[in-house]
Structure formats: structure tokens, C-alpha cells
Amino acid sequence: MPQFKEEKLDLDSKTSPKREDRLGTIKNYAGSLSDLVEDYKSGKGLEWRNRTFEQSGGCLLTQTVMRLVTIRDSILIIHGPVGCSQGTNGYREMFQKIPLALGKPQEFELAVLSSNLSESDIVFGGEKKLRQAIIEANARYNPKSIIIATSCASGVMGDDIEGVVDSIQPEIQASLVPVHCEGFRSKINQTAFDASSHAIVKYLVKPPKKKQKDLVNIIAPFSVTWADRVEINRLFAKVGLRANYVPDFATTEELETMSEAAVTAPTCASYGEYLQRALFEKFGVPYFREPGPLGLQNTADWFREIAKHTGKEKEIEALIEEEISIVTPLLEELKKNLKASMNGKEASIFVAAGQLRIAFIPRLAAELGIKVAAISSREIDPYIVEDLVKVHEELGDFEVHSSDEQPFEHSHMLNRLKPDLYTGCPFMGVYKREGSQVRNHSFRSDFSIPANQFVFRGILNYGYIVQRSLQNQSLTRTLHAKTPSPYKSWWYEQPDALAYSKAL
Amino acid sequence: MANISLVKKEDLTEQPSDQRCLEAPKYTCSLGGALAVITNINRIIPIIHAGAGCGQNQLLSFRMAGGLQGIGYISGVNAPSTNMSENEVVFGGETRLRDQVRATLDLIDGDAYFVVAGCISNMIGDDIDSVAREFAEEPTPVLAVNASGFSGNSNTGYELVFETFIRKLVKPKPKVKGLVNILGIVPYQDVFWRGNLRAIKEALQKLGLKVNQFVGDASGLEGIKNISAAELSIVISPWVGVKTAKLIEEKFDVPYVTFPFLPSGPIDTSAFVRAVAQKLKIPKAKYEKLIAEEEAEAYNDLNIAGDSCAQFGPALPFNIIAGASTAVGITRYLTKLAGFTATQVIINDDPPEEVREEIIKNLQDVGGLPPKVVFEIDSWEIRQHLKKSNFRLLLATSQERFLAESEGKIFLNVSFPANSRLVVRETYAGYGGGVAIIEHVLSKFIVP
């Protein structure tokens, strides 16, 4: 079986390469898991295809700014026209209502400035405006760092971002961190995660003053909720570990000291892969890429990986045993109720998510007694196929799809496979159909207790939502019956969800 | 440790709006405004010719900030988009656009298709009009507009779309008696746009008029084509839509009337009805009878809510932060009828210099002392103005919510961005709109 090979990262370069070049990532796939596994074993790589019809999704900028804006003592500058900052305009306020008991930091102030590029800037260049925004951000907030996110407009113009940064950095104390997230730069918008990780490691992370054997960096995008943090902290405290949640919602100092941690643990493979590797290659912080802490088995394995690097094997084995013994009876009851909601039939699920979830929710689903009809990943990196090989051995076959969540393709697959439940990104809208739908994870802005879906007890919260959703399908059914669908009927009558994808 | 900065901050408030950076801006770009209109005209299908994130920013985030309004028929990340990448930047985007238009016509069920081009397309010089013309033989029209993000704000985008409709699609038609066009209400930029248009339409229908609102109702392409059949265009804004109304007048001989703020409550709604009725030469007896009936009902509403105003919010001092039309409309109702005290009005949607005097004038004949009027588009600067003002109630965007609430003020989200309010049918326009503000404000703080 071929092993996925990785080149060493060039952390001194201006920014990360695009993911399609660095990893051979794709975002067009439809087939069975067994085919994917077969192709992988025979050495046939993932094939890049272009779509002649696409729906809008995210770009490098939208993918990263909503995360970078949460760095607590940093100010974000979006160097583009005013519309590029639209998605972050609510972030200053979004986390204000979170109870302190859930771990909301006492004092933080999030702010985003747009350099507001206008017609004359496009003619004369945007550097003057960027400089103005940096000075303004610094004077208004006195931040520890200022993160600069580039846009399509600044990229096409060729603004010399590093030149501006180099010229102004000596004059201010805040560390300037330019992130190259020009929207057009890569067809794989997750390249943005690499670009922001690259910049954070290049401009912020400091060599370790001391190694902290009990400190665990946890990659924490917005799907790691406050309730997740409380639960992880509770478990960590029992075994004498501390979590450093990065990069989202960290302070500049917490980012600077990522190099001191004993290990970097994943919760999202797409998000964390570059950061984990960069911390390893530059500062020797070990990491593991899988599994994600979803469900009982995956969480146990996740903790065991952490144990290897922290010397906590004994404590962690005891923790696993205790947690599983608490969760198991509740899970058994939940499984019974789930089955009853389906009149004794096994429910089927369509999982549309990021790579870590599509690879590890199948195991969680099996623990809940749910059958996987299909998984649909935003993108597929070759390394995740290695995980899927294991999933195939354990759970057998189901369909695999990747489209960066193109709704017309999801709609096609849902219409054909008719799973009882669709779990996906809530941004995609409601799929009008006979069948239920639930978001596949919570957000950090949701500070309810059931928003805890990671680690051992998370499976219960996830299961309760699934159960309620299976029992009441009125929203999707009503919209299906009473409102029109935009896709013409021929789309559903032909068999191929990738009909608009072409090999190069 | 103090951050010693060697560089001095400028005073940006004196700079023209396109020459200053903006913190948490109160509008989005032209592309956003254009897509806001197109995706809310029934069965008109947008085709975004821009970067992959533009759809998410303008059709998801802009819609959410515009009162958490969801995707509907085809919008949000469902919207067809060329998702331009490096290849198009280097070799041009016309081939990609051609494929996308063809595929969209085949796959998405619509009555017309509208290419909306963003920054990249304009910067690399794609000829979107010629690509659109290649589809001239199709049974459904294919239109195209250049709405680069750097060309202006949401209001610019609104006018650009109508300009394209009027120049490329609308043909002269015989006039239909009593048909009027409504302009100036930009979806999401006015978070209550659905309810506001409905309220305006209802008020005009009672006059016996047929209302062409195009945006947000079922009229779709037919509504757009009927623009030329109207007897009058009615602009409800100090300036947004005026350019469109002038173009309609020039091309199709349809006169227009401007009502420079949202009519809220009996005084201003009656003024609005009179302005339209007089322009259309509706007999005075007819509209005055209608006005008398509607006013009686609206004043009775106030009679019911008035006790609570007097008891719980006597002369309640308030600040409002909103676009000009909403800010003026609400301030006039609350001060002229409900006895509230306006201490500061911050207009956040960047009206052009030439209409600012009129906006200030409409805030002079209010109840009580005239408020301080500020034109400001930057969130940080707005917060500085708030800190200097005396108020108990803040009517503003969700961006001011926590500043207000952390100081124990009463807060109501009435303007864009409205990330903390789901708005579908709510409105503060028309005869019933005024008392709705009182209901929402007082229900925020009366105990138990």
C-alpha cells in the first residue's frame, strides 16, 4: 500500500503553497468507499477535475478571516473592498453573551477594519490605505498583534504587503502578521488554513523558553464550542493536563507559546494539519493527525495519543474506563429510543462535513446504531484516504462524495439515496425533502450545554439532537411540499452527481 | 505596557468616505447590493462572476446581517458562481463565464438570468456584455452588470441593477392607469425591507393604486417589464433610487416623486399618501376620506400604547443609529407622536453631500429639541459619539448592542447590520408602523 509522502514545509517563504500543489488535494469525487480504497491501494492517485457549473462557496479569505478575527488581543485588517469584510461584521458582539462559567475570557475586544479599497486605490494601489488601517488599528486598540488578510483586489493589483509591513513594523509594537488569503489563489479554499498557520508560525510563535510537559495544543476551530472546552478541561484536569486552544480565540501570547506544548492534538484535520506540522518541523512539538475525539472509541484513541506524549498513560486509561462506564448505559438507552423513533428500522445518515468528521463520524454513527449512507467531504487530501481505508475495513461500504459542499450535488445525492437524516453545514440552507436535517456540529457562538459534541459525553448530545430530528421532520417536509426547488427535474433523472465535472 | 507608536493617527472623519479605512462598516459593496436586489426578484437567477467567496460574503453574510434572512429560492451559497481562480486571472474569465451561463440556463429554473461581475472580472477586463449577448437567442433573457466591489456600496449596486434592467430589458409600454413603481428600499441594507414594502403597498392599494414593487413579491420579470407602464415612480429615500427614477423618466416618460424618509405612523404616512395622490390627481375627497379612517385607527393605537409611554418611558431620551431613511422616519414618529426625546441621530449609510441638508431639515421639525445629527460610517467613531451623548434607549445596529446593554441602556436593533434580529414581516412603516416601535421598545424593559 502506498504511503502518503510529505515534503518538508518552507516556513521562511512568503506564504504556504496552494493545497492542490502541496498535497494533491481534490474536491470532485463521487463513488463508493470500496472504489476509493481500491484506487488508493493500487497506487492510482486522486484525480483533479473542474466543474463547468459551480455554486458559490467560501474562498480563502472567507475561510480564514472569521477565525483570525477571534484572536483576542489582536486586530484584524481585511485589505480589500468593503464587501470582503461583510462576513466578520458581527464578530465583535457574537461572543458577548457567553457566561463566564463557560470559560469566556474576562476581557477581550474583537475588532475588524476594512481598508475599504475604492476605485482610486485600484488605480494607484492600496498600500497607502493599508498603512492607514494599520496605524488606525494600533492607535484605537493598542493590540498585541495586527493580522492583515489580503483579498483578490489587493492580489490582482500586486500590492507589496510585506513592503508595507517591513516599513511600518519598526514604528509600532504590535506584531504585524500578513496572511495571504487572496480568494483566487487556490481552488481549494482550505489553502487559507495553511496560509494563516504559516503566517502565525512565521511571525508570532517564539522558540520555547521551557517545555511544558502537561500542556496540550488543541486545534480549535469554531466547531469546538465553549461547552466542548469545558468538558475537555474537566477531563484534562482529572489527568493533570492543560489545554491550549489554538489558534481561534487564543491570545497572542498563547500563540507565541505553542512551541512549549507537549503535543498538538487535532479536532479538524483540514484546519490543523499545516499548523501541527509547522510546529513540529520548526520547534519539535509532536503531533498526531487522527482520530478526532468523536464518539467513544475515537475519543479513547485520541486520549491515548495524547498520553504517549505526556506520560499520562495510567491516568488516561483510568479516565477512559470511568467515562465509558458512565456514558455506556445512557448510550444504550439512547440507541433504544433512536431505534424506536425509526419503528425498529436502522436510521441512515448522510454526513456532509470536513475531512475529520467524514472519516470519524462513521464510527460514532455505528456506536449510535445508525447506518452511513454516504459521506461528503469538502475536499479530500490523500492522507485522509489512509483513514478511510481503516473505516472501510471496520464498517464496510458506503458512498463517498466531495464537492466543497456544492448544494446541487448534495441535492442530487439526497434525492437518490433518500437517507433518513442529512447532517451538514447549516449555511447551505435547508434541503427540501422527505427526511430530516440537522447541522453536523455546533458553533462557538452557541453556548448551550448540548453544544458539547466532542469527547466521550458529546455522543449523547449529538444523539439526542439526531433523535429529535428523526422524530420531527416537519420543516424539511413542509418546505418540500410548499415551496419550489430551483433545479430542473432532468437533474434528478440522470444518474451522475458529477455530471458537470470534467477531467482536465 | 503602553504601546509606543511613532506614527500619529490622522483624523479620518474629515476624509471622503472612499479615502478612509472603515471599522465594521455599515454597508457592503456594490456586488452585495446588486445581488440583494437580483436574488429577491422572483425567478431571476443570479450568476456571480467573481471570486469564490463573494457569494458567501454577499448572499450569506449580508443576508444574515440583514435580519437573518435565509436563502429562499436560489441565493446564499446556492447561487451559481464562476468562482474565479488563478487560471481566470491569468487567461481571462470569459470562457469560464460562458460555460457557467450555459450550465445555469440548463440546470436552474428561472425566467431571466443575471450575470453580476465583481472585482476580479473588472480588473482583468472581461467583456461580460459580449458573453451575455451570445445568449440572445435563448428563450429567457441573459443580462449582465459590472458591480465590482470597489465601485461603491450596497446602494450603488441597487442602482446598477435597475439601470441594467432599464437599458437592456424594459421596453416602452402603454401606461396602465394607477400603476406606480416603488424604488429606494434596498434589501438587507433596510432590514425591514419586506415588511416596509408590504406596508407601503397596502397604503397605496387603499388609494386604488396598483403597485409595482418588483422586489420581494411574486411579480418577477413581468414586474420589471411593467416599469415603463407606470404612471409614477415613487422613491422612498433621500437619494437611493433617484438615479433609477430619473432614468425611467428619461426613457419612458414616467415622472417621479421622492419621499425622503420612511413614513412611519399617521402624520408622515398621511403626508406620503397626499404627496402621491396629488401627483396622480386623485380626487381630494377620496384620499382625505381614506386618510381620516386610517388616522383614526392609528391614533387609537397610540391611545392604547400611550399610557405605557407616559408611565414607563416619559420623554425617554434616545439615540438612533441607522440609514437616513429609517433614522429620520423613526425619529419623527417617536418625537412627534410618542413624546420621546431624540438626543442624537447618527446617519450611518453615507448619504451624498447634496442631500445632507435636507436630512437635517427633516430632523428639525420634530417634537422637543432637535437632536444632534451626525453623519458617520465607522463603528469605532460611532462609539465615541455614543459615549458623549445622553440617552436611555438606543435604536441601532447589532454592532452597538453590547456597548448599550453593558451600560444598562435599553437596546433595539433597527438597522443594518442586524445580526441579532430575525426579520420577516416586521415593519415600522405605514399607519401601523409607528406604534410597532413603541411596542418593541417598551416590551424590552417593562417589568415584570
In order, the DSSP letters of B375-386 are: E---HHHHHHHH
Residue among B3, B24, B402 minimizing CB distance to A174: B3
Q: With contacts defined as CB-CB under 8 Å, which chain B residues touch A125? A: none
How many whole angstroms separate alpha carbon A339 and alpha carbon A203?
52
User: Which of B391 and A434 is assigned the larger pLDDT?
Assistant: B391
Contact A79, A148 (CB under 8 A): yes
* Angle at A312 (CA atoms; ends A308, A313), nearest 5 degrees: 65
Q: Which pLDDT does position B2 carry in this prediction?
A: 45
Beta strand ranges found along A52-203 (DSSP E): 74-79, 112-114, 145-150, 175-179
Contact A217, A442 (CB under 8 A): no
Interchain contact A493–B (C-beta under 8 A)? no
**Beta-bridge partners for A78:** A114, A149
Which helix (DSSP H) or strand (DSSP E) does residue B406 occupy? helix B401-406
Measured in degrees and rounded to the nearest 5, phi and psi for residue A434 equal: -85, 100
> B21, A129: Cβ pair inside 8 Å?
yes
How many whole angstroms separate alpha carbon B61 and alpha carbon B70?
10
Query: How far apart, in Å, are the Cα atoms of A208 and each of A203, A204, A279, A502, B240?
Result: 15, 12, 11, 48, 57
- Minimal-distance CA residue of chain B relative to A81: B150
Contact A164, A353 (CB under 8 A): no
Residue among B28, B30, B89 minimizing CB distance to A86: B28
A43 residue type, one letter: G
> A486, B109: Cβ pair inside 8 Å?
yes
Contact A377, A355 (CB under 8 A): yes
The one-character DSSP state at A242 is E
- Minimal-distance CA residue of chain A relative to B18: A118
Q: Specify the residue for cell string 492522507.
A: A383
How many whole angstroms separate alpha carbon A294 and alpha carbon A275?
21
Q: With contacts defined as CB-CB under 8 Å, which chain A residues touch B51? A: 59, 61, 152, 183-184
Half-sphere exposure of B341 (CA within 13 A, CB side): 13
CA quadruple B112, B113, B118, B120: dihedral sign = negative
What is the C-alpha radius of gyration for chain B, rounded to an integer number of angstroms?
23
Q: Identify the CA nearest to A183 among candidates A57, A350, A33.
A: A57
Q: Which pLDDT does position A1 carry in this prediction?
A: 47
Contact B230, B169 (CB under 8 A): no
pLDDT by residue for chain A (504 residues), tens only, comes to 455 677 899 999 999 999 999 999 999 999 999 999 999 899 888 999 999 999 998 999 999 999 999 999 999 999 999 999 999 999 999 888 888 888 788 788 999 999 999 999 999 999 999 999 999 999 999 999 999 999 999 999 999 999 999 999 999 999 999 999 999 999 999 999 999 999 999 999 999 999 999 999 999 998 899 999 999 999 999 999 999 999 999 999 999 999 999 999 999 989 999 999 999 999 999 999 999 999 999 999 999 999 999 999 999 999 999 999 999 999 999 999 999 989 999 999 999 999 999 999 999 999 999 999 999 999 999 999 999 999 999 999 999 999 999 999 999 999 999 999 999 877 777 888 888 898 888 887 888 888 999 999 999 999 999 999 999 999 999 999 999 999 999 999 999 999 999 987
Task: Please name the residues between 81 and 120 in chain A that touch chain B, using a CB distance below 8 Å.
Answer: 81-87, 89-90, 92-94, 96, 111-120
How many whole angstroms separate alpha carbon A220 and alpha carbon A242?
14
Number of Cβ within 10 Å of residue B322's Cβ equals 26
Beta strand ranges found along B248-334 (DSSP E): 256-259, 317-322
Q: With contacts defined as CB-CB under 8 Å, which chain A residues touch B89? A: 156, 184
Half-sphere exposure of A80 (CA within 13 A, CB side): 35
CA distance A335 to chain B (A): 33
Contact A88, A65 (CB under 8 A): yes
Residue among A54, A143, A427 minimizing CB distance to B82: A54
How many whole angstroms separate alpha carbon B278 and alpha carbon B270?
12
Q: Name residues whose C-beta falls within 8 Å of residue A74's C-beta, 6 or more positions apart in sequence.
A: A68, A143, A144, A145, A146, A147, A177, A252
Q: Identify the CA nearest to A5 among candidates A382, A285, A287.
A: A382
Q: Which pLDDT does position B4 carry in this prediction?
A: 53
Q: B283: cis peptide before it, omega within 30°?
A: no
Q: Name residues whose C-beta falls within 8 Å of residue B147's C-beta, 6 or more positions apart in sequence.
A: B29, B30, B31, B33, B34, B35, B116, B117, B118, B156, B157, B160, B161
| Cα-to-chain-centroid distance, residue B240 | 8
Interchain contact A211–B (C-beta under 8 A)? no
- Minimal-distance CA residue of chain B relative to A18: B86
> B85, A114: Cβ pair inside 8 Å?
no
Task: Please name the residues between 40 and 69 in chain A that touch chain B, using a CB distance below 8 Å.
Answer: 52-63
SS3 assignment, position B412:
strand
Q: With contacts defined as CB-CB under 8 Å, which chain A residues touch B45? A: 486
User: Which of A430 and B74 is assigned the larger pLDDT?
Assistant: B74
Q: Name residues whose C-beta falls within 8 Å of residue A234's C-beta, 6 or more positions apart in sequence.
A: none
pLDDT at residue B6 greater than cutoff 70: no
Q: With contacts defined as CB-CB under 8 Å, which chain B residues touch A170? A: 6
> A116, B24: Cβ pair inside 8 Å?
no
CA quadruple A357, A362, A363, A366: dihedral sign = positive
Q: Which three cell numbers stand for residue A131?
A: 498603512
A105 residue type, one letter: P
Contact B272, B203 (CB under 8 A): yes
Q: Name residues whose C-beta falls within 8 Å of residue B210's C-beta, 6 or more positions apart in sequence.
A: B176, B178, B179, B180
> A57, B55: Cβ pair inside 8 Å?
yes
Q: A291: cis peptide before it, omega within 30°?
A: yes
- Minimal-distance CA residue of chain B relative to A91: B399
> A140, B32: Cβ pair inside 8 Å?
no
- Minimal-distance CA residue of chain A relative to B125: A156
Interchain contact A312–B (C-beta under 8 A)? no
Q: With contacts defined as CB-CB under 8 Å, which chain A residues touch B74? A: 486
What is the C-alpha radius of gyration for chain A, rounded to an integer number of angstroms?
23
User: Which of A256 and B367 is assigned the larger pLDDT?
Assistant: A256
pLDDT averaged over every residue in chain B: 96
Query: How far apart, in Å, are the Cα atoms of A192 and each of A126, A183, A288?
Result: 21, 9, 21
How many whole angstroms separate alpha carbon B269 and alpha carbon B337?
13
> B78, A429: Cβ pair inside 8 Å?
yes
**pLDDT tens digit string along B35-61?**
999 999 999 999 999 999 999 999 989
Measured in degrees and rounded to the nearest 5, phi and psi for residue B243 equal: -60, -45
Which helix (DSSP H) or strand (DSSP E) does residue B439 occupy? helix B433-443
Residue among B53, B83, B107 minimizing CB distance to A487: B107
Q: Which pLDDT does position A157 carry in this prediction?
A: 96
CA distance B80 to chain A (A): 4
Contact A232, A272 (CB under 8 A): no
Bin B76: left if φ > 0, else alpha if -120 < ψ < 50, else beta.
Answer: left
Q: With contacts defined as CB-CB under 8 Å, which chain B residues touch A64? A: none
How many whole angstroms separate alpha carbon A111 and alpha carbon A118?
21
How many whole angstroms separate alpha carbon A43 and alpha carbon A2?
6
Contact A427, B60 (CB under 8 A): yes
How many whole angstroms separate alpha carbon B216 and alpha carbon A85?
26
Q: What is the ipTM of this complex?
A: 0.96
Number of Cβ within 10 Å of residue B317's Cβ equals 17
How many whole angstroms separate alpha carbon A241 and alpha carbon A292?
18
Q: Name residues whose C-beta falls within 8 Å of residue A226's C-beta, 6 or more positions apart in sequence.
A: A98, A102, A103, A104, A444, A447, A451
Q: With contacts defined as CB-CB under 8 Å, which chain A residues touch B421? A: none
> B77, A122: Cβ pair inside 8 Å?
no
Contact B279, B257 (CB under 8 A): yes
The one-character DSSP state at A287 is B
> B12, A132: Cβ pair inside 8 Å?
yes
CA distance A459 to chain B (A): 29
Residue B8, classified by CB atoms within 10 Å of its CB into exposed (0-12), middle (13-18) or buried (19+), is exposed
Full DSSP string of B155-189 = HHHHHHHHHHHHHHT----PPPTTEEEEE---BTT
Q: Which pLDDT does position B1 carry in this prediction?
A: 40
